[in-house]
Every structure is written in structure tokens, then in C-alpha cells.
Amino acid sequence: MNALASQVRLRAGDCCEYCLLPQGAFRRPFHIEHIVARQHGGSSTFDNLALARWQCNLKKGPNLTGIDPQTRWIAPLFHPRQDRWADHFALGVETLMPSGVGIQGLTPAGRATVRLLGLNEEMRQMLRYELWREAKYGGPK
């Protein structure tokens, strides 16, 4: 792993910067993701890189915006370098499904990100719940 990737992982606390799941719960390594994709002029610099679980990264792709399901308007996606996670999201134990931990979008950016990245798919909620029960998941640090 190169030095830049190590710095990105360290800054993220080895957790996905979108869904906050810890790398330690998975065998497959998380991606070093370009927040603004290279095809949109994004650079491979520390300030434009985030640690992302492969599922979050693949669903986000090069998107910079999504549709806020509440207003149906185009909204920017959550930007890990410019936004604070707790300003845009809240965790809810058993709020969206039994035995699950949902992520609620609090702002247009939060709601658009939850929708686009599929953060509340059933298996993801169940995984967060199991990690939460083991005190390995609890939201932003």
C-alpha cells in the first residue's frame, strides 16, 4: 500500500467514510475513492480521496449529485472532506426494519446519498445491527 493510501485509511479510522462500516469486519479491502471523479477533473490528492467500502464506491461511481427522495430535487452528494457526517445523517436502531440499524438522511444531500448508495438495503442494516450489538459500530467518531 502506498503512503497516500495509508494516510487516507488513517484519517478515516479504517471505516468507510459514507456508511461508517469498519474495514475490520470484512476480508475484502476498502477502496480509496475519488470524491470528485477523475473524469470530472478530480485529482488523486489527499483532499479528494476517501476510504469507501467497495459497495459504497461502486454505487457512487462518478456521481456528484443525486435525487432527494423527499423534495425530488437534484442535491449534491455527501462530500467527506467538506461535510460533517453527523450534520447530514443519523443512525437509528430498528427505525427502518426490525433488527437493523438504518441511516437516516437529515438534509437533501444526506437523503440523496442514502438513496444513491443504497445505505439502507436490508443486508446492510442487518450487518450494522450485528456490529452495533458487538460494540463495533456506533456512528461517527
Q: What is the mean pLDDT of residues 1-16?
A: 93
Answer yes or no: is 113 within a domain: yes
Residue 40: inside a domain? yes
Q: Is the pLDDT of residue 80 over 60?
A: yes
Residue 141 counted as domain residue: no
How far apart CA 102 and CA 3 sit, in angstroms, is 34
pTM of the full predicted structure?
0.90
Could you give the number of structural domains in the chain? Answer: 1
| Predicted local confidence at residue 54, as pLDDT | 94
- From the list 53, 44, 47, the residue with the least C-alpha distance to 16 is 53
Evaluate whether residue 65 is within a structural domain: yes
Would residue 139 count as lying in a domain? no
User: Residue 82 — very low, low, confident or very high, per pLDDT cuts 50/70/90?
Assistant: very high
> Could you tell me the sign of the dihedral formed by the alpha carbons of 122, 105, 20, 8, in that order?
positive
Tell me, yes or no, whether 120 lies in a domain. Answer: yes
> In this structure, is residue 140 part of a structural domain?
no
